[in-house]
A and B are shown apart, each in its own frame.
Chain A
Amino acid sequence: MAWELVIGLEVHAQLRTESKLFGPASAAFGGAPNSHVDAVSLGLPGALPVLNKEAVRMAAIAGLATNCEVQRHSVFARKNYFYPDLPKGYQISQFDKPICLAGHLDIDAGEGPRRIRITRIHMEEDAGKSSHRAGGSYVDLNRAGVPLIEIVSEPDLRSADEAVAYLKELRAILIYIGVNDGNLEEGSFRCDANVSVRRVGQTTLGTRCEIKNLNSFRGIRDAIGYESARQIRQITAGETIIQQTRLWDVDKGRTAAMRSKEQAHDYRYFPDPDLPPLLIAAEDLTAWAATIPELPAQRRSRFVSDLGLDTEMARLLCEDPETADRYERTLGQDQSPERARSLASFLTGRLAGALNKSERSWADIDTAMTQLAEVHDQWRDGKLSNKMLTDVLVAAFAADASFADALESARDHTGLIEQDDGALDDMLAAIIAANPGQVAAYRSGKHKLIGFFVGQVMRQLQGKANAKVVNAKLKALLDG
């Protein structure tokens, strides 16, 4: 009998505020150890937390963009535990009255649209960072007090692919609305997965395990795959699943239970007496809602319906707003479906490929997008051959000058295909006359030999020929 996976995700996303959630120190990533600190994040006695309004706005619009009901009244609570990177001895979080409730995201992992419910979004402060070395644990409190939202889904996901699709959609939304930078490696977007298995048709949930330490989409996919297989194997062998927290070990490719001592949590939540309830004014909420830009799902469907892109290309372009913006900027006014599709594959294919092989970044070449659009159009119109296009891009990417200048000089150097029909016709006639054997073979049915003739032309013209025109002319001569 078949098995079904049941997955719920908890995502911690760092809000892109300037300062911390309850104190004025910088919330920037990195910095010299303990240089982004204030009395509140150090937990100095008597220091009182004062909530950052921008963090509230960001949490609220994250809720609106994920179809949540933003709560006009929410409460901060203390989550108590001892760890050296938590100087106060408690984390300020939200417990039974979070800022957002009851949302959903629509995802498509390749098997049609599915709605994944979001239980809640709450605000909390991050802990500091401990590095454990031989001489002891080194504590850096730069991250302590940085604002986070935790987005908790219902256990509605049924496969690792769905989990990744949900996370990518959520990440894209948070980037679009400007509240999170989406960086998994630096830990500003991180995820814990609750995984259980059950027989298909069973309505009750199996015992779940929580997997932590997931910091890439690949890791999430692999960890869910490993963990579900482990649970199925255990149940099949007649063993029971113990509810526990397990850590993903990316090097060994497996999950392992945390020591039971580390699992004995009793957080003793209670409302933080330092912080009165958070009330959001209706006019603030209305003003904030107006700041939400076009979301990735809307943008994808616009790219499909208005520009004629296929779904996969629209998804690729809309993963982050910079790529989508760049595409639309480069596209400009001429938005015929044929050009829109061609430019989309030019940007995501040839151009992205050349960029990846070079030392340059998108920021470098963003200043030259108008010229790049011209290059694309000339190539599309047959004034640049594939080889000439590659030459231009390679030269422009390799040069030391600004990309715009490098591109201009590469274009000047390569030039355009001069369509001189008379000269071309003479050359074709000469090539045909010089290769009677190949001509005979072609005419006896070896039509693939057209490639040989095209090759001859291209060699003589050093690649500066419109392959379509050459092909057509050759065909006419050989077939006629």
Chain B
Amino acid sequence: MSDAIDATAVADAARLARLALEPAEQQAMAAELERVRAWVSMLQAVDVSDVAPMTHPHEGAMGLRRDRVSSDLTAAEALANAPAQAEGHFLVPRVVG
């Protein structure tokens, strides 16, 4: 990711994030994100040729869980925060055709 962030890249990211940005907002966002990218890109200058790649900051392996059902959440509780619900379902604007 050494390419500078421009309005096109912002439009693309906005589409993936389902954000509706006006052209002016895209321009402003591009400038802001480009400053962040440029700052972070200082890391690129560090010589890591003798450092092993790391996928996770913690040492060691993850803990595993026994295969046991123990949820005490009811459907009503699960739906309690939903802006809209119907027939026990989360109701969202129709997503296809």
A interface list, Cβ under 8 A from B: 17-19, 23-27, 32-39, 42, 50-56, 75, 80-84, 97, 130-141, 264, 266, 268, 271, 273, 275-279
Q: Which residues of A contact B68 (CB under 8 A)?
A: 18-19, 24
- Residue B46 lies at the interface, judged by CB distance under 8 Å to chain A: no
Report the minimum CB–CB distance from B64 to chain A (whole Å).
Answer: 4
Q: Within B74-97, which residues are at the interface with A (CB < 8 Å)?
A: 74-75, 78-79, 84, 86-96
> When the two chains form their complex, are residues A84 and B89 in contact, meaning their CB atoms are under 8 A apart?
no
Tell me, yes or no, whether B61 is within 8 Å of chain A by CB.
yes
Interface string of B6-30 (1 = CB under 8 A from A): 0000001001111000000000000
Residues of chain B lying within 8 A (CB to CB) of residue A37:
71, 73, 75, 78
12 A-B interface contacts by CB (under 8 A): A23-B71, A33-B75, A34-B78, A51-B65, A52-B67, A53-B67, A80-B16, A137-B92, A138-B87, A139-B92, A140-B90, A277-B55
Q: A279 and B61 in contact (CB under 8 A), knowing A34-B90, A135-B86, A138-B91?
A: yes
For B84, list chain A residues within 8 Å (CB): 136
Q: How far is the CB of A125 from chain B (nearest CB, A)?
A: 14
Q: How far is the CA of A84 from the CA of B82 in the complex (A)?
A: 12
Q: Contact partner of B69 among A19, A34, A83, A273, CB < 8 A?
A: A19
Residues of the A chain whose Cβ atoms lie less than 8 Å from the Cβ of B65: 19, 24, 50-53
Whether B18 lies near A139 (C-beta < 8 A) is no
Could you tell me the distance between the alpha carbons of A54 and B64 in the complex, rounded to whole angstroms?
9
Residues of A within 8 A of B73 (CB): 25, 37-39, 42
A interface majority secondary structure:
loop
Instruction: Check A278 against B16 for contact (C-beta < 8 Å).
Output: no
Identify 4 new A-B residue pairs, CB closer than 8 A, beyond the known A25-B73, A80-B16, A132-B96.
A34-B75, A75-B56, A97-B55, A139-B92
> Known interface pairs A34-B79, A39-B73. Does A137 touch B55 (Cβ–Cβ under 8 Å)?
no
Interface size class of B (residues with CB under 8 A): 35 or more
Closest 6 CB pairs of A and B: A54-B67, A279-B61, A138-B89, A53-B64, A38-B71, A33-B88
A residues less than 8 Å from B66 (CB atoms)? 53-54
Q: Which of B17, B66, B75, B86 has the most CB of A within 10 A?
A: B75
Complex CA gap A139/B15 in Å reads 22
Contacting pair A52 B71 (CB below 8 A): no
* Nearest Cβ on chain B to A446's Cβ, whole angstroms: 71
- Which of B56, B71, B74 has the most CB atoms of chain A within a 10 A radius of its CB? B71
State in angstroms the CA–CA spacing of A266 and B14 once bound together. Answer: 12
B64 touches A51 (CB 8 A): yes
Kindly state whether residue B2 has any CB partner on chain A within 8 Å: no
Q: Which residues of B contact A278 (CB under 8 A)?
A: 61-62
Q: What B residues does A135 contact at CB under 8 A?
A: 86, 91, 94
Is A18 a contact partner of B67 (Cβ separation < 8 A)?
Answer: yes
Question: Which residue from chain B places its CB closest to the CB of A51 in the assembled complex?
Answer: B64
With contact pairs A33-B89, A82-B17, A132-B96 given, residues A24 and B69 touching in the complex (Cβ less than 8 Å)? yes
Contact B56 A276 (CB under 8 A): yes
